[in-house]
Structure 1
Amino acid sequence: MLKKLLLGVFFLSTSLSAQDYFFKKFHPFNSNVPSPEEFLGYGIGERHTRHDLIVNYLTRLAEVSDRASIHEYGKTHEGRKLVILTITSPENLGNLDQLKTQHLQFTDPSKSPSNYDEVPIFINLGYNVHGNEPSSSEAALLTAYTLTASNSPEILNYLNKGVIFIDPTINPDGRDRHTQWANMYQGNPMVADPQDAEHNEYWPRGRTNHYWFDLNRDWLLGINPESRGKLGWYHEWYPNVVTDFHEMGSQSSYFFEPMKDNGSLNPIMPKENYEDLNNLFGDYFSKALDSIGSFYFSKEVFDGTYPGYGSSYPDLQGGLGLLFEQASSRGHKQTTDFGEITFPFTIRNQYTSSITTIKAAVENKALLRKYQQDFFKSALTNATKSKIRGYSFKDNHDPNRVKAFIDKLLLHKIDVYRSGNSFVVPTRQPQYRMVQTMFETYGKYRDSVYYDASAWSVANFYNMKYKAVTSVNQGEKLTSLDNLASPKGVQKTNYAYIIDYNDYNAIAMLNQLQSNGLVVSSSFKPFTIRTNSGDQKFNYGALVIPVSLQKKDSDEVYALIRDAQKEFQVPVYAANSGYSLQGIDLGSRWISPITKPKAAMLVGDGVRSYEAGEVWHLLDTRVHMPITKIPMRNFGRINLDKYNTLVMVSGSYDFSEKQQEKIKAWVSKGNTLITIGSASKWAVDKKLVEEKLTEKEKDSTKTVVRKPYVNANENLGKESVGGAIFKVDLDITHPLAFGYTDTSIPVYKNNSVWLAPSKNEYATVGKYAKNPHIDGFITKKNMEENLKPSASLLVSKMGGGRVVLFADNPNFRGSWYGTNRLFLNALFLGNKIRIPE
């Protein structure tokens, strides 16, 4: 039967009747509203639709229909529009501001409206967060047309009782990358062979955005403009139901919630959400899919544990987030074990679920509104029950890192107050559950196999020193980032300027000064010196700019430093003498000029695009430093001597012996190789470095105990480290750790790379602490046998150069401000590292 269904999906002609495959039941349609087929010139499913055509079509609907309006909420990195099409009855649309006011009263714990069934339900249909999972955006066009043109009593009822917000393409940059690929390789006749180019994108593929970020992990972290724009819109409207449409492997069927039971032992999410509401909506989806003969499953895989998904973040805002996964045609038609799956078939399931979501929401709008009201009221109740009244945090050494963290709190509408020289987040506030998400850590779980991360305490991402407090002195409420990092303007001197290297933005300022031709030195020992701002103590890594040794005159030097300070808001001091009060003088041999990095990074097949994108994004958006991205296919003919630093992120590097020797020879000349994650393991395995992996001898006498085959995936899966936070002891006298003031830092581990501490006593920069666990799941075996004996960061000598080996990813998801500096120090200070024999 299933094979027959899949084969029965015909190739759409240009006739209107072909489109009836999707929405025949919703006739009659208003002839003044163009169908997608009429507007595009081809039937939905015949080809992949570009994002600009999607936006143009929705714009046209807003022009011709009195049921719709369109709103632009942002632009992508590549400048593509991010839009929301609002659809409801003409009366509701004309009264939308008042409806919004009434709706938001249910999210305000201080108010108690009871007209649950009188206000239209707010529904956000979100599509295509992964660019190469394209069926949902096509379904968005069909859904928009149905809602704006259909005059069936069913649709008119939905419009009267609901306000539907259609976000057609959450990831336009990735979608267009994939659309170009799929249409470029589409055959005529179509080629269903899975090995055809149409079904096999080249690296980095279309899943991710411009910087190769997975936007379905970015709702919590808010790093990219796509997410920040959507979060701004979200906290303006607080929809009751939010969809998150995806695709999965071609050999599967269709997934809808409920998800797999997972998460911490005591989840912060109300039980009514992940049990009652998901099961209620699941009944609707099963009946709708049964009616068109589609097969499906639920509850087996996927979890909503991580709060940064499009299907989990709404759950933390009193809404119901819904995940859908459609088996992908990976092109227009592809052979599977069940026959042929076509693009129109995948679109039809997504369209059916879209309309069904609206149906379920409208028919349960009073229940959903009461749930959202109770959600925010219970936030205050739960906070009151807890002994913790708030979280206090500060870092007087690094105001720009603190500012970045506060930006994240304000992005999620969390109340933050300035209290003296520290900041406090009270728990008793409507966003209490987001406060928990930012600060609470967990060690006990209901399950041990995770679809993604098991730890996300965002304060640790920022290496923020925080503590729970039992009383709160709120002080001044912050409403913006103004004046959070505003150092005193630097005064002019003819002798030397000193930049505080403790500040997160110091490296970006260093890069700008070097790019403008200034010679900048780094201090390899602390010192205290008299400045125009008084006696000042400087940490390891303080940047020194001697005025008389520059090729520019003192006025030019001052102008460059003044402008850089204004842009990056880093403390800068003027010194009129090089004689220190304590420690080394400014002319000491311990203060050495920094060579400007000429960096390259390997990209392409075999390389983990997420990690490569994180490096690219960090350098582009925060340091404003270019990095050459060298495709793996070109490596054999690249002249590495143009660069002094090479980055290799996690991946499978299939180098020939000749290519490996090329890398070794280049490093030995005095250059720096930086490896991350599995690239570090590769460097050890291929004996590029004289380091070892942590290995425990296998006990050959141990008896193998038979286990049920059905449990294999669960038993093996829990041994992986899907994402947890651990404490590392850091040598802050090492150049890689310059700028840190505390020897203990949190790191994020989401791999099974276990580096043994170096036999050279000066080469282990970071080692996991004696009691390393901070947050997230790890098995006892991994903790005792692998993590505790291992190192997180090593430097290994290779001829006149060195290899910097990160076991963990210091740039994870663009959010680990706490460990970014380790990576940036490797770039800017790597060639200053001398490893004693």
Structure 2
Amino acid sequence: MKKTLFFLLLFFLVIITAKAQLKTPSEFIPDYGKQISYYYQVESYFKFLTEESNSIKKQNYGKTSEGRDLMVYYISTPENLANLDLIRNNNLAAIGLSDKVSKTIGDKLIVWLSFSVHGNEYAGTESAMTVAYQLLNPNNPESKKWLENTIVILDPCINPDGYSRYGNWLREISGKKTHPELSDREHMEIWPGGRFNHYLFDLNRDWAWQTQIESEQRLALYNEWLPQVHVDVHEMGYNSPYFFPPSAEPWHEFIDKYQKDFQNVVGEKISNKFDQENWLYNTRETYDMFYPSYGDTYPTYNGAVGMTFEQGGIGAGRAVLLENGSVLTMQDRINHHVKSVLTTVGAAASELDHLIQGFRKYMTNSRKNIKGKYNTYVLKNNAKLEQLTVLLKKNKIEFAYADANQKAIGFNYQTQNDKSFAIDINDLIIKVDQPKAVLTQMLFEPYNKLNDSLSYDITAWNLPLAYGVEGYALKNNLNIKTKAIIEPIEHNTPQNVYAFYVPWNNRISAQVLSSLHQNNIKVRAAREKAIFGKLTVEAGGLIVSKADNPKIVDFEKTVIDIIKIKNDYNFINTAYTVNGKDLGGENFFLLKAPKIALLSGKGVSSTEFGAVWYYLDSVIGYPVSVIETTNFDLLNLNGYNTLILADGSYDFSKEQQRRIDDWINNGGKVIAMNNALNLFADKEGYSLSLYDSDEDKKASEKEVKDKESKDRFLDYKGSERRAISATVTGAIIENVLDTTYPMSFGLGDKYFSLKTDYKQYPLVKNGVNVAYIPVDYKSYGFIGNNLKKKLNKTVSFAVESKENGKLIYMIDNPLFRGFWENGNLLFSNALFLVN
């Protein structure tokens, strides 16, 4: 019996010893700290940790567009890991998001650590491995103490596709020796770079919108936990000293004192650590707390203390020579991140009660003591609400539909004044009195107050305007009968259908047309309203008739299988209309299926190219040939009828430009966006110009000279603030629409554009000014004083006919970051309806 007990004890001692002998990343991965790790090596190291320690648990939460795993790791005591669901539900129950409460589990702090949302900021992921090791190290008494009442959720790489793109490139061009000199190719990352995901979206701007698969899957998990602390680990230009909180102004007014206080606590503790190492750092500069879709602000508006950490490192390769003469190594970057992140975890653990209570008060008190001006938001029933409710569900924002009619008074987003209106059945009702009260207000409050105009990003994002729906903000708590869903339309298709009608009113319309074209089904669109008995076909409405498709076998079933994804489709039994717009007349024009070439590569903005590519490939699922600009001479333009030029600096030769000109004249269509307009502005044969007349040009040049003369007497210190008077980082601007032209179909009476560029053009003289900014236009967000005046009577979207072809000018990017839903429809119009 004694022998048995002895061997059992020996067995357990062996197991415990094995568990205690964790390898460091440098012991596990060859050249760790000297060469970027492959993504599979990162996965392998965390697999090793989960096998060797009982204080870490893995959860796979999804896959990237390229099929790589997305993972988080829970790090805490074995007892806490065994009760993760109980801890999670207790945390949610305290703020009204769960009814499952366990009294056997005490309060636990949740700290979420996110690394390398930008793939080429790779020291984040490298440091994540050391952070995990140090938290799990059985010989680290500090971390043991922290984890007693703390759950650390560690995401080692938010953007595996971008990280792998950068890592594979760096390894391919690396030699055995490092080359810190700036001229070495190691510091000259090639297009498109590893910063972005597969579709070249910046995932750090996508937290609220969740347009990308990585964001959608990650935020689904994030909203199941809602941590008290979130740390977002980044890198910046390599000459910049380390940045850690407190953040810079502007701080949004909805941010609480407890959140600011803990940023100060973190800043003081990290500064003490960095001072001991003689490391340079800065706080309260550049990185502000305003735009709601960052990795620090989105968690903040969900009750956490969200923080950004920035290490100099973009473009550093493995080692780089700094302007002060020292060499920044990969190991330096890792060390800085590890020190700051672990210090933050320790600071959070020491402030557990303060953080948990602050989080709960922030989330619960904001329901009754609202931070904004309005208690309720009403959005009139519109097909575009379908996509808006998808976004609300992703963010766990509660909503309902009106189930009664009622009069009300509210602030109208489109007119910017209070007015009476009718609430009708099926209008969307969103109340601030809900667990996600603050985030709801962030997304729907008409005005977000800027306490400093030097903002890092866009300053307006009103969802009713982004989605193109009539919206109202009400100061009172609305008392109206509601329902959870809108009853779907029942389709009783008769035996003999003359044609099918698909309304043109949201992105699903474009998806339907995309599928119809790809199945070689002929489609017409209405130029004006047509009335078929009780059915009204609005401008832009799609018609699929038997007459245009006589060879389709089983016409009804074939078409319905395609269009059924759009619930409001209908059918027509006759070509004869009440108002003289018969189906066989000029009112219904036959649509051409686009054959698209999209330029990419050198000179093209990665993110703006990515926005177009994602729209085509994922939003509407339409084929596109992506052509590198360096291969333009090999491109047979005659094989395409549509050429898309995303924002960029295109260095075309005169001969290449001539080829484009001739191709347009022969029937081609160009969609040119942002800086791609430089190819056509003030060029012979084109109407787009920077000035309305020679007099305007002279006046503008004189204004510049006068300003230069005056500026000589001004101090240098105020130059940055003076400069922003001529800029716009991102503001919503009212546009007048030519509602008779196909490019405006389905957009509504007005179009509110998200303007992110200071450039302005007068209305074109030999074309259609589809959308232009009127005098005394309405706007939201920051626009510099000098620029604001100049935007009056400037064009945002225009179309110029060139012999048999078309040139579409897009001064603003309607696909910006993929979240401007009415912009998706506008681009669909340009692609499909402008023939």
| TM-score, normalization by structure 2 | 0.90
Counterpart among 383, 386, 394 of residue 380 in structure 2 = 394
For the residues of structure 1 that align with 2:490 and 2:186, how far apart are their CA atoms? Answer: 55
Deviates more, 1:240-249 or 1:537-546: 537-546
- Paired amino acid for 1:33: L
Q: Deviations over 1:702-757 (max 9, x none)?
A: 651422212222321453211111111111110111223x2212110001221211
For the residues of structure 1 that align with 2:276 and 2:706, how far apart are their CA atoms? Answer: 58
Q: Contact 2:220 / 2:394 at 8 angstroms: preserved in 1?
A: yes
Aligned to 1:34: 23
For the residues of structure 1 that align with 2:490 and 2:568, how far apart are their CA atoms? Answer: 5
For the residues of structure 1 that align with 2:816 and 2:122, how far apart are their CA atoms? Answer: 26
- Paired amino acid for 2:376: G
Shift, 1:494, TM fit: 4.8
Aligned to 1:168: 156
3-state DSSP class of the match of 2:726?
coil
- Paired amino acid for 1:314: P
The root-mean-square deviation of aligned C-alpha atoms, in Å, is: 2.4
- Paired amino acid for 1:409: L
Aligned to 1:254: 242
Counterpart among 264, 272, 283 of residue 298 in structure 1 = 283
Q: Deviations over 1:548-597 (max 9, x none)?
A: 332424x532122110122x224333222211111310110232211100
Aligned to 1:280: 265
Q: Contact 2:379 / 2:429 at 8 angstroms: preserved in 1?
A: yes
Counterpart among 297, 308, 328 of residue 323 in structure 1 = 308
Q: Deviations over 1:455-502 (max 9, x none)?
A: 122332211211013342454464xxx767656364443522222223
Aligned to 1:271: 257
For the residues of structure 2 that align with 1:462 and 1:208, how far apart are their CA atoms? Answer: 25
Aligned to 2:400: 417
3-state DSSP class of the match of 2:132?
helix
Counterpart among 338, 362, 370 of residue 351 in structure 1 = 338
Aligned to 2:365: 378
- The answer to whether the aligner puts 1:45 opposite 2:45 as a matched pair is no
Aligned to 2:641: 644
For the residues of structure 1 that align with 2:827 and 2:763, how far apart are their CA atoms? Answer: 19
Aligned to 2:542: 543
3-state DSSP class of the match of 1:369?
helix
Aligned to 1:557: 555
Q: Contact 2:773 / 2:793 at 8 angstroms: preserved in 1?
A: yes
Deviates more, 1:196-205 or 1:89-98: 89-98
- Paired amino acid for 1:315: T
Shift, 1:378, TM fit: 2.3
Q: Contact 1:493 / 1:575 at 8 angstroms: preserved in 2?
A: no
Shift, 1:780, TM fit: 2.3
For residues 194-233 of structure 1, the aligned pairs below 5 Å read: 194-233=182-221
Q: Contact 1:462 / 1:816 at 8 angstroms: preserved in 2?
A: yes
From the superposition, tell whether residues 39 and 369 of structure 1 become closer, same or farther in structure 2 (CA, over 3 Å). same
Q: Contact 2:254 / 2:438 at 8 angstroms: preserved in 1?
A: yes
Deviates more, 1:223-232 or 1:206-215: 223-232
Shift, 1:123, TM fit: 0.7
Q: Contact 1:441 / 1:774 at 8 angstroms: preserved in 2?
A: no
3-state DSSP class of the match of 1:261?
strand
Q: Contact 2:726 / 2:785 at 8 angstroms: preserved in 1?
A: no
Q: Deviations over 1:378-408 (max 9, x none)?
A: 212323x877331011233x2xx21110111
Q: Deviations over 1:644-680 (max 9, x none)?
A: 0111111111111111111111111111111111212
Aligned to 1:827: 831
3-state DSSP class of the match of 1:203?
coil
- The answer to whether the aligner puts 1:725 opposite 2:728 as a matched pair is no
From the superposition, tell whether residues 515 and 386 of structure 1 become closer, same or farther in structure 2 (CA, over 3 Å). closer
Aligned to 2:8: none
3-state DSSP class of the match of 2:80?
helix
- The answer to whether the aligner puts 1:612 opposite 2:609 as a matched pair is yes
Q: Contact 1:415 / 1:429 at 8 angstroms: preserved in 2?
A: yes
From the superposition, tell whether residues 260 and 685 of structure 1 become closer, same or farther in structure 2 (CA, over 3 Å). farther
Shift, 1:766, TM fit: 0.6
- Paired amino acid for 1:378: N
3-state DSSP class of the match of 2:379?
strand
For the residues of structure 2 that align with 1:91 and 1:463, how far apart are their CA atoms? Answer: 50
3-state DSSP class of the match of 2:710?
coil
- The answer to whether the aligner puts 1:757 opposite 2:763 as a matched pair is yes
Aligned-residue identity in percent: 31
Shift, 1:308, TM fit: 0.5
Q: Contact 2:18 / 2:52 at 8 angstroms: preserved in 1?
A: no
Aligned to 1:743: 749
From the superposition, tell whether residues 160 and 43 of structure 1 become closer, same or farther in structure 2 (CA, over 3 Å). farther
Q: Deviations over 1:302-348 (max 9, x none)?
A: 21211110011111111111111101062111112122111111111
For residues 772-787 of structure 1, the aligned pairs below 5 Å read: 772-785=777-790, 787=791
Aligned to 1:8: none
3-state DSSP class of the match of 1:497?
strand
Q: Contact 1:263 / 1:454 at 8 angstroms: preserved in 2?
A: no
For the residues of structure 1 that align with 2:321 and 2:292, how far apart are their CA atoms? Answer: 36
3-state DSSP class of the match of 2:311?
strand
- The answer to whether the aligner puts 1:581 opposite 2:578 as a matched pair is yes
| TM-score, normalization by structure 1 | 0.90
For residues 667-682 of structure 1, the aligned pairs below 5 Å read: 667-682=664-679
Gaps of 5+ in 1: 1-27, 832-837
For the residues of structure 2 that align with 1:583 and 1:304, how far apart are their CA atoms? Answer: 57
3-state DSSP class of the match of 1:684?
coil
- The answer to whether the aligner puts 1:189 opposite 2:177 as a matched pair is yes
From the superposition, tell whether residues 213 and 71 of structure 1 become closer, same or farther in structure 2 (CA, over 3 Å). same
Matched pairs, number: 783
Deviates more, 1:765-774 or 1:308-317: 765-774
For the residues of structure 1 that align with 2:181 and 2:374, how far apart are their CA atoms? Answer: 59
For the residues of structure 2 that align with 1:484 and 1:813, how far apart are their CA atoms? Answer: 32
From the superposition, tell whether residues 686 and 345 of structure 1 become closer, same or farther in structure 2 (CA, over 3 Å). farther
Aligned to 1:807: 811
Q: Contact 2:726 / 2:784 at 8 angstroms: preserved in 1?
A: yes
From the superposition, tell whether residues 687 and 820 of structure 1 become closer, same or farther in structure 2 (CA, over 3 Å). farther
Aligned to 1:121: 109
Q: Contact 2:373 / 2:445 at 8 angstroms: preserved in 1?
A: no
For the residues of structure 1 that align with 2:68 and 2:706, how far apart are their CA atoms? Answer: 62
Q: Contact 1:490 / 1:572 at 8 angstroms: preserved in 2?
A: no
- The answer to whether the aligner puts 1:137 opposite 2:140 as a matched pair is no
From the superposition, tell whether residues 610 and 273 of structure 1 become closer, same or farther in structure 2 (CA, over 3 Å). same
Aligned to 1:521: 524
- Paired amino acid for 1:709: Y
- Paired amino acid for 1:408: L
For the residues of structure 1 that align with 2:800 and 2:125, how far apart are their CA atoms? Answer: 49
Q: Deviations over 1:57-111 (max 9, x none)?
A: 2123222211011001111111111111001012222233333333334434999
For residues 459-608 of structure 1, the aligned pairs below 5 Å read: 459-469=464-474, 470-473=476-479, 475-476=481-482, 478=484, 488=491, 490-530=493-533, 535-553=534-552, 555-566=553-564, 568-608=565-605
Shift, 1:49, TM fit: 1.4
3-state DSSP class of the match of 2:543?
strand
Aligned to 2:710: 704
Deviates more, 1:444-453 or 1:207-216: 444-453
Shift, 1:507, TM fit: 1.9
Q: Contact 1:108 / 1:373 at 8 angstroms: preserved in 2?
A: no
Q: Contact 2:58 / 2:71 at 8 angstroms: preserved in 1?
A: yes
For the residues of structure 2 that align with 1:38 and 1:483, how far apart are their CA atoms? Answer: 59
